[in-house]
Structure formats: C-alpha cells, structure tokens
Structure 1
C-alpha cells in the first residue's frame, strides 16, 4: 500500500481552478521528484497534501487514511513534515528555539539535526534573522525533521543558494534516503541533482499530471517538452 496517494485531485483559489487532475503515489522510503515549469501546480499540490488548501475533487490518502477532512495541523501530526518554499524561519527566535517550536518525540532531536547540519550546533543561540540564506535553509529542514515525519516534503529547498550550500542540502537529502525509512517528496529544477536521489518522478503541466514513472525513464524528449524553457 502506498504511504501517500493522490487521485484525480482538483483544487481552486477562489473561482480560479489551479489543479485539474493531479495524481501521484509514493511508497515508504521512496524519493519522488515533483516536477514542472513555474506556475504549473507543484506548490499548490503540496498545499493540498499538507491541507493548507482543500481539494474540491479527487482523493488524498496518507497511510491508508482519508485526509479530506483534516486541518493542516492534523496533517502535520499524522506525519507530514514540510520545508516550505522561502524557508519561513521564525526570525525573532534562536536556532534552538526554531527547532523545538514544533518538535515531536522521536529519533530526530536537536542532537540528530546537529549531526546532519553541524553549523546549526555552532549557531544554536543565534537569532534566525542573523543566519545566512543557506543556514536558514538548513534550519528549515531541521525544523521539519524535528516533527519526526514519515513524509518529508521539500519545496524548492535549494532555490537561490550558493553552489556549495546547494551541495550540502543535496548531500543531506541523500543521507536521509540512505539512513532512514522516510519517504521524501522533492520539488526542484535541477535534473542532475534530482537524478542522484529520486526514485520516481511526476511532471505537472497546467494542473494535470502528464507523466509519471521511474526517474531513470525520463527521456530528453519528455524533459524538453514539459521542463524546457
């Protein structure tokens, strides 16, 4: 049974329809790349999964449970951890306070996050506002991990970062895949880096899932058609 399964999802912002027919499936321990050009529905799909936006049609199942009636905090409690686009750290809290703000019992505590991102240990008592963009991104990932999720969602987690920091984030994702049974859903534009971690892929075009399969089966023709400029 899939850990996460979306079937024929439609969703609206007011009267404007953003998703028309999105479907995806993610197994325990799998990494899925959710791909598509800007404005095609990737982040909206994430909002539906996290119950920040209600779907008007279709179904969303997580660990065999129908998520339709859940609120966003209930989705988080059920085991969905989100690293949102733009990081959104609590700027007036310290690194440690950010990490414990939404923590839940489990193997991911401050010590575990500090092993993944040693720089957060060094910055433990600094305000999040004083961190670099890369350090804030590490903090956002660590904050999601400390909810001890079964599904980790990373929405453009390397966007706008320096190349050396991007590599740190990708190395952390690879380590999570290798060392945990966590399912991971990644939105990113870099096919090269996605290819090092992703097992499967779904491409969304104008709110519709237009391709899905093993990441290794993506052809240049498919990527040019749906991901090219």
Structure 2
C-alpha cells in the first residue's frame, strides 16, 4: 500500500483552478522529487497534502487514511512535517524557542537537530530575525523535524541561498535519507542535487502530472521537454 497517494487531485483558489489532475504515489522510506517549471502547481500540491488548500476532486490518502476532511492541525499530528517556501520562522522568538514551539516526543529533539545543524546550537539564544537566510532555512527544517514527522515536505528549501549554504542543506537531506530512512517529498529546481537524493520523480505541467518514474529515468530529453525554459 502506498504511504501517500494523490489520485486525480483538483483544487481552486476561489474561482481560479490551480490543480487539474495531480497523481502521485509515495512509498514509506522513499524520497520523491516533485518538479516542474515555475507556476505549474508544485506548492499548491504541497498545500493540498498539508490540508492548507482543500481539493475539490480526486482522492488524497496518507498511510491509508482519507485526508479529505482532515484540518491542517490534525494533518500535522498525523505526521506531516512541512518546511514551507519562504522559511516563515517566528522572528521574535529565539532559535531554541522556534524549535521547541511545535516539538513532539520522538527521536528528533534539540540535541539531534543541533547535530544536524551545529550552527543552530551556536545561535540558540539569538532571535530568528538576526539569522542569515541560510540559517533561517536550517531553523525551518529543524522546526519541522522537531514535530517528529513521518513524512517531511520540503518546498524550495534551497531557493535563493548562497551556493555554500545550499550544499549544507543538501548534505543534511542526504543525511536524513541515509541515517533515518525518512520519507521525503522535495520540491526543488536543482536536478544535479535531486539526482543524489531522490528515488523517484513526479513532474507537473499546468497543474497536472505529466510524467512520473524513477529519478534515474529523468533523462536530458525528459528534462528538456518538461523542465527547460
């Protein structure tokens, strides 16, 4: 049985339709890359999974549970951990306060997050507003991990970051895969980095799934057809 299933998902923002038929299947322990050009529905799909956007048609299930009537806070309790686009840390709280704000019992606690991102331990008493963009992104990932999710959703986690910081983020994602076997759905534009971590890929175009398969099957021809400018 699929751990996460989206079948024919459609969704609207008011009168404007954003998703026209998204299909995605993710096994437990799998890392899946959700790809597509800008504006093709990737973030909207993430919002539907986390119940921040209701779907109007199709079927969404997480670990066998129909998620149609599940509100966002119960989706989080079910084990969905979101690292949103734009980081969205609590600026007036310290690093430690940001991390413990949504903490739930489990493997991931402050010490474990500090091992993954030592810089957060060094800055634990600083306000989130005083951190660099890269440090805020580490904090956003750490905060999601502190909920001890069963599925981690990374929405453009390296967007706009300096190359050296991006490499730190990708190293952390690879570590999550190799050391914890965490199930991850990752949205990003870097094919080279995604190839190092993702097992499978789903490509969206105009709000619909147009390609899915193993990450190794994302050939230059596929990338040029669906991801090129």
Tell me if both proteins adopt one fold, taking TM over 0.5 as the criterion: yes
Q: Which residue of 2 aligns with 1:216?
A: 216
Q: Which residue of 2 aligns with 1:65?
A: 65
Aligned length: 229
* Secondary structure at 2:202 match in 1: strand
1:110 partnered with 2:110:
yes
- Quick one: distance in 1 between partners of 2:186 and 2:98? 22
Superimposed CA distance per residue, residues 9-54 of structure 1 (whole angstroms, 9 cap, x where no aligned partner): 0000001111010010111111000000000000000000000000
- Quick one: distance in 2 between partners of 1:148 and 1:2? 20
* Secondary structure at 1:23 match in 2: strand
Q: Which residue of 2 aligns with 1:39?
A: 39
Q: Which residue of 1 aligns with 2:125?
A: 125
For residue 181 of structure 1, report the CA deviation from its aligned partner: 2.7
1:29 partnered with 2:29:
yes
Q: Which residue of 2 aligns with 1:203?
A: 203
Q: Structure 1 unaligned runs (5+)?
A: none
Q: CA RMSD in A?
A: 0.5
* Secondary structure at 1:61 match in 2: strand
TM-score norm. by structure 2 comes to: 0.99
- Quick one: distance in 2 between partners of 1:59 and 1:101? 32
- Quick one: distance in 2 between partners of 1:2 and 1:15? 32
* Secondary structure at 1:192 match in 2: helix
Superimposed CA distance per residue, residues 161-218 of structure 1 (whole angstroms, 9 cap, x where no aligned partner): 1111000000000000001131000000000000000000000000110000000011
- Quick one: distance in 2 between partners of 1:37 and 1:203? 9
- Quick one: distance in 1 between partners of 2:130 and 2:2? 41
* Secondary structure at 2:60 match in 1: strand
For residue 220 of structure 1, report the CA deviation from its aligned partner: 1.4
* Secondary structure at 1:69 match in 2: coil
TM-score norm. by structure 1 comes to: 0.99
Q: Structure 2 unaligned runs (5+)?
A: none
- Quick one: distance in 1 between partners of 2:190 and 2:84? 18
